[in-house]
Structure 1
């Protein structure tokens, strides 16, 4: 007996739900299958295991049970820990043959099973949508995931035929009965290259049907990427507009969920347009509202890493432990590299932020503002020398100076990689310290941190 079959024997115990009878009406009976063993809060692979178990029900032709589970998830709007809708995950488990990469024989058998389900229960709300989404995935199987110029003529022909088949199935089904009908139609729209106004009309219809189904926004965001039909920055702008309309914690949660849709462990520019502070608010609100998902914790760690916020990334990596998401990170080496970088950089970043906070607080006081002006005047001679030595490698920057009680430059830091001008200036201050010089004004107290902003362009103009 296979391990999946054994798992299913364990899972088949009573859970109250509604089942669909042969007339398509809700009849109260318990669904036998339980999703309790699939704990997304502790196991990053929980959803993959759930998908395989749902797929096994299809292979065993447990059509009544499948309708029961979908009806219950749809009526209860239930979610896994972390906010993933159980209904959407149910469809994901059935949209292609599982497990592993399917062969053409696997696809034919899968489509035959779903078609049998659809004909055995013609009133099923779920079966037509599963069949449509299966044809959509079958279409992409023919096309492949490469660039359009890498697709063969026969690949394009099969792709078009299968997408059209999916649309015909959806057109015959009733959109007013299941939120995932709109997900499937959004995928058809992408496959048939609808223009953006058509996409947007479909999105608005979907949101009106089920406002909380985050997948509508995620699919639309993916289509807005420059590689499909949008311009640079479109995904982030759409996320901000959508989150602002929803408002509050729910809006921040949606903002985070939308960003997850385009997040990858790769070099891309779109994530950089998202607001890192708002993503942090969204993740915090998500966990407060729906609990933990190890998938989302992995996403948050990657977001923090891409944002260079190692102080936030480090505790996220510690929460992950060995529960790293291979689909997200792509390789264990890349995951460990970011994890180790966070562990090493987080303490230094924490100290740098504490320095900034202290310096900014000092600069808020009248004596701090007066002292900074005096300090900048003292630095003028050094700046002119360094401007000449930098040979044009000079840009506007800010740095922090810690001044000793007698005017010594005890420390100098910058949060960005210094250019030639900045490096020269900081090296000059360091040499003054090692030579026990006191070139700076006496500060209000010992160990006084000052935030200094320098613009080489202004210095160059004043030197003429």
Structure 2
């Protein structure tokens, strides 16, 4: 993938946003401070779902073939009045739930039977339609495997591209209802990344998707790792991209998107020390992220980054926002700064936190 394509797309998409998007952000939290006060299948207007628990519940309902409950849960997720504690959209939760269900290498061999059973209970469901497409794409990666390109056999490459072609055909022929969903845009963008010979242009799909679904940040999260040096990019390009998109969304996200985009790299196995973020900007972004969204992951991750930087003031602030004590390092992503944080906790900080 040529990173220049994305610099072009980034510039192209500048004209898709009004000056209003660069205005000062509201300081009130976007999601109420009510962590996980409802469940996927029982969530009224104004409810707040836990991201981690909701992913786990989707996987459980799917694996247990409780498809009526699953369909109801998906409908709940798509209500604008139902919030996620991390601040992502319901559609993004659905996308990453199916990433967990269909990991590619390691797929459950009984998935086709589950999908057939779902079809009997919910024919015409766009969620089922999406699941079928996501499953076929995962079979491509199962055929290829997760190793470096030079370790993949010619037969595996052939099966990989055959499955990708099948996925692309399904996306092209998808229902208009699914094409109106960011789920379609997200998997289409990823497919374009998978196959440089795809008729789907990654540049065009990215520009189209961020314009059509501006509050869905999975598109930017998919681009972030593709700008890394291992894909021919640079750490400077990664930071430029994160800075640009954070600036584009200040009206709705303040400065919080900068940290969110870097955290998306962590979820893909890229440690903080393998990136080149601006610490001053990152620290301010984390504070905004914590103020807006009540997920327990954000204070811990901020503490992790602050302790890596040996920034005592930021670390103390982050640790004071940790929801559950004693501190368990549950969401820790890099142990290099752990001793620094343990020292601060040993100074009695934990005793002063309610």
Q: Same fold (TM over 0.5)?
A: yes
* Correspondent of 1:324 among 315, 323, 329: 329
- Structure 1 contact 310–343 (Cα < 8 Å) conserved: no
* Correspondent of 1:65 among 61, 65, 69: 69
TM-score by length of 1: 0.56
Alpha-carbon distance in structure 2 between the residues aligned to 1:52 and 1:205: 31
Partner of 2:306: 304
Deviations 1:418-460 (A, max 9, x none): xxxxxxxxxxxxxxxxxxxxxxxxxxxxxxxxxxxxxxxxxxx
Partner of 1:228: 231
Deviations 1:7-49 (A, max 9, x none): xxx97975459xxxxxxxxxxxxxxxxx97x646xxxxxx1x4
TM-score by length of 2: 0.71
Tell me which of the two structures has the higher relative contact order, counting C-alpha pairs closer than 8 angstroms and 6 or more residues apart.
2
1:210 Cα offset (Å): 1.3
Alpha-carbon distance in structure 2 between the residues aligned to 1:315 and 1:307: 14
Alpha-carbon distance in structure 2 between the residues aligned to 1:261 and 1:127: 26
- Structure 1 contact 61–117 (Cα < 8 Å) conserved: yes
Alpha-carbon distance in structure 2 between the residues aligned to 1:12 and 1:84: 15
Partner of 1:140: 141
- Structure 1 contact 294–323 (Cα < 8 Å) conserved: no
Residue 287 to residue 342, structure 1, CA distance change in 2 (3 Å):
closer
Q: Please, which runs of 5 or more residues in structure 2 have no aligned partner?
A: 1-37, 347-354
Alpha-carbon distance in structure 2 between the residues aligned to 1:189 and 1:76: 29
1:76 match: secondary structure: coil
Alpha-carbon distance in structure 2 between the residues aligned to 1:131 and 1:248: 36
1:86 Cα offset (Å): 3.1
* Correspondent of 1:216 among 210, 219, 223: 219
Alpha-carbon distance in structure 1 between the residues aligned to 2:311 and 2:127: 43
Partner of 1:340: 339
Residue 123 to residue 192, structure 1, CA distance change in 2 (3 Å):
same
Residue 14 to residue 263, structure 1, CA distance change in 2 (3 Å):
closer
Alpha-carbon distance in structure 1 between the residues aligned to 2:91 and 2:208: 19
Number of equivalences: 302
Alpha-carbon distance in structure 2 between the residues aligned to 1:140 and 1:306: 34
Map 1:50-129; keep pairs closer than 5 Å: 50-76=54-80, 78-97=82-101, 106-107=108-109, 109-118=110-119, 121-129=122-130
Partner of 1:454: none
Q: Structure 1 or 2: larger strand share?
A: 1
Alpha-carbon distance in structure 1 between the residues aligned to 2:145 and 2:310: 34
1:258 Cα offset (Å): 0.9
Residue 237 to residue 269, structure 1, CA distance change in 2 (3 Å):
farther
Residue 267 to residue 125, structure 1, CA distance change in 2 (3 Å):
closer
Structure label with greater radius of gyration? 1
Partner of 2:17: none
- Structure 1 contact 142–155 (Cα < 8 Å) conserved: yes
* Correspondent of 2:284 among 273, 281, 291: 281
Alpha-carbon distance in structure 1 between the residues aligned to 2:40 and 2:309: 44
Alpha-carbon distance in structure 2 between the residues aligned to 1:121 and 1:312: 50
Alpha-carbon distance in structure 1 between the residues aligned to 2:123 and 2:214: 28
Map 1:189-200; keep pairs closer than 5 Å: 189-193=192-196, 198-200=201-203
Partner of 1:241: 244
Name whichever of 70-79 and 313-322 sits farther off: 313-322
Alpha-carbon distance in structure 1 between the residues aligned to 2:253 and 2:311: 24
1:201 Cα offset (Å): 1.6
- Structure 2 contact 229–235 (Cα < 8 Å) conserved: yes
Alpha-carbon distance in structure 2 between the residues aligned to 1:95 and 1:198: 22
Partner of 2:159: 158
Is residue 271 of structure 1 aligned with residue 271 of structure 2?
Answer: no
Residue 229 to residue 280, structure 1, CA distance change in 2 (3 Å):
same
Q: Please, which runs of 5 or more residues in structure 1 have no aligned partner?
A: 1-9, 18-34, 41-46, 348-464
Partner of 1:457: none
2:255 match: secondary structure: helix
Deviations 1:237-287 (A, max 9, x none): 111122222235625122121111223776677621x22222222222222
1:236 Cα offset (Å): 0.9
- Structure 2 contact 105–145 (Cα < 8 Å) conserved: no
Alpha-carbon distance in structure 2 between the residues aligned to 1:145 and 1:155: 11
Name whichever of 138-147 and 338-347 sits farther off: 338-347
Residue 16 to residue 245, structure 1, CA distance change in 2 (3 Å):
closer
